[in-house]
Structure 1
Amino acid sequence: MGIRMTTKLSEVHDMLMREAERVERLTIRALSKLGEQCVTKIRDRAGDKSWYDQTGNLRSSVGYVIAHNKNIIQYSTFNQVNQGSEGVKTGKDLAKELAKRYSNNYVLIVVAGMNYAEFVEAMDNKDVLASTELWAREQVPLMLEKLKRQIAK
């Protein structure tokens, strides 16, 4: 008994490529949503729950990038707060630098780019990235499960 394939190989290839592109779009959308949630949790807190802005640079340096195989696919907006234009540039530059360190797969990088972010966090128990990182680590398995369901549709 023989089975003859009537579909052209190029049609199968095209279908597989469309599906791969759909999976990539869903993956980027899921990472973007998580990144936006992280940025919101970091930036949109009152000073007593995070830190009080002096120049606005630290809050302006908060953002994220999504990269795949060292290539940046998407940036968040690094919105300037007060006179924090230096923070916008520093945050973006740090995110770009960190993206180069991941050679395969997808990566979401959330940054507070000013070099004194760790000091602010250590001083008086101020929260810059720490609580959001813990929250994001809890969200990743949930996000991946949702992504699997979306891909299976």
Structure 2
Amino acid sequence: MGIRMTTPMSEVNAVIEAEAERVDKIVIQALSNLGDMCVTEARDRAQEDSWFNQTGNLRSSVGYVVVAHGTIVERSGFETVLNGSEGSMVGKKLAEELAKKYSSDYALIVVAGMHYAEYVEAKESKSVLASAELLAHAEFYDIMEKLKSQTVK
């Protein structure tokens, strides 16, 4: 006994494509939300927990991009703090350069674009991205579980 499919393949493909687009949007939104959390963690802390803004460039260089299938699909604003327009520019450029390394799948890239960010963390013992990275690791598995429940029906 055989089973015969009477639904045209075009309809089957349309359903599959619609579901893939729905899942794609959910993943991108989840990564974007995590990126926002990381940027907030890095940029918006009390002065005693953070570094001193001299020019605003370091804080302005903190931001993220979400890459899906080789394309940047979401990004933070790299908002300028004080006179830190150079930092905004450098942060965006670094994030875009790193995004080129991800031609398939998804990626969340969080950056502090100024070259002295590592120095501030090492010499001044102030977290620039370290606490944001810890937050991302802590939240990632919960986010993945939520994604599973939203995508598997």
Residue 74 of structure 1 corresponds to which residue in structure 2?
Answer: 74
Residue 105 of structure 1 corresponds to which residue in structure 2?
Answer: 105
Q: Output the aligned Cα RMSD.
A: 1.0
| Count of aligned pairs | 153
Return the letter of the residue paired with 2:119.
Answer: F
For the Cα contact (< 8 Å) 2:43–2:59, is it kept in 1? Answer: yes
What per-residue deviation string (whole Å, max 9, x for no partner) do you get for residues 10-40 of structure 1? 0000000000000000000000000000001
The DSSP-based 3-state class of the residue aligned with 1:115 is coil
Residue 24 of structure 2 corresponds to which residue in structure 1?
Answer: 24
Shift, 1:124, TM fit: 2.3
Unaligned runs of 5+ in 1: none
TM-score (norm 2): 0.96
For the Cα contact (< 8 Å) 2:63–2:110, is it kept in 1? Answer: yes
Residue 139 of structure 1 corresponds to which residue in structure 2?
Answer: 139
Unaligned runs of 5+ in 2: none
Shift, 1:42, TM fit: 0.7
Residue 84 of structure 2 corresponds to which residue in structure 1?
Answer: 84
Return the letter of the residue paired with 1:124.
Answer: E
The whole-number CA distance in structure 2 between the counterparts of 1:101 and 1:151 is 27
For the Cα contact (< 8 Å) 2:42–2:62, is it kept in 1? Answer: yes
For the Cα contact (< 8 Å) 1:58–1:113, is it kept in 2? Answer: yes
What is the aligned-residue identity percentage?
A: 58
Residue 122 of structure 2 corresponds to which residue in structure 1?
Answer: 122
When structure 1 is superposed on structure 2, of 41-50 and 17-26 the one drifting more is 41-50
